[in-house]
Amino acid sequence: MKKLKGLILPLVMSLVVLAGCAPKGEENVKTEANKTVEETKKPEETKKPEEKPVEEKVDAEVLNRFDKYFYKGKDELIYIGMAEYGFMAKYHKEDVKDAKEKVVVYEGAMRDGMGEPDGKGPRKFTVSYTIDKDKIVEKIDNRDYVKNKKTILNSIIENFVVVKGEVKVGSKWEQGFKIEDKEYKAVTEIKSLDKKGDKDEFVVESTVKDIKGYKDNTYVERRTYREGLGLIMLEYRPTMVNGQEPMDDFIGYSLNYLKDKDGNVNVIER
């Protein structure tokens, strides 16, 4: 019996020692495991600053290729049309914007049979031509207080595209526009490119189909531009009255003369 007790006591003590060591060993394992996880974590990637989009630039020669079709002198441009219609325009300034487009601006005022009702002063407007790498767009700011439409002057086509691409016969382009929230499409084509003396002159014709109030439900407009002067003529198909076709197929106006500050005039030949 004494021998049995002698064997049991060392065995129990050994188990106690082993039991006491187990938590310590387990703690070491957890610590090492945690350390290993931390060490294997990837550092957060450094955020790169947002790259700004590359600003588009257009070569000056490209922007200037239409320059010859703009008048930039000091004289007034006097336009006269039918039924005492008329207005004056004068070159105001040229702005280059963002190195990708430029704007040529003219200030004008109506000079027609209506005069200046109630002594309210000149009936003014601004015509701006925006030139980019492939087109010219005409924009109107009409401040004529007797007119309701503020973004057109004579044409029904808002933001008229004067030229798109090269100035050559057969060039054609389309543009959309609205009249009283209804959408229409204008198709414009360069019909002719000729010489007037030593100056280039071209004619564009615009057609708008499926529009009520015009002969054959079609609106037609023609514009003539001449080197050194710009727009020298605009004619368009008038609306029908009470369902009857108008007497004239086209009406409009033309550049009649230039007038300097002293009142001297330079008549424009057709």
Q: What is the pLDDT of residues 191-214, one digit of tens each?
A: 999 999 999 999 999 999 999 999
Q: What is the mean pLDDT of residues 222-229?
A: 98
* b/e 212-245 (16+ beta carbons within 10 angstroms → b): eebeeeebbbbbbbbbbbbbbbbbbbbeeeeeee
Predicted TM-score (pTM) of this structure: 0.78
**Out of 30-34, 49-53, 74-78, least confident range:** 30-34
Amino acid of residue 138: E
* 89: in domain: yes
CA–CA gap between residue 136 and residue 193 (Å, rounded): 17
Task: Name the domain count of the chain.
Answer: 1
Q: What is the pLDDT of residue 12?
A: 40
**Shortest CA distance to 171 belongs to which of 199, 195, 192?**
192
Is 31 inside a domain boundary? no
Looking up residue 224, the CATH number of its domain turns out to be 2.40.360
Amino acid of residue 219: Y
Q: Mean pLDDT in the chain?
A: 86
Task: Give domain status of residue 240, yes or no.
Answer: yes
Note down the domain range covering 174: 60-267
The 10s digit of each residue's pLDDT in 137-173 is: 999 999 999 999 999 999 999 999 999 999 999 999 9
Distance CA 73, CA 266 (A): 13
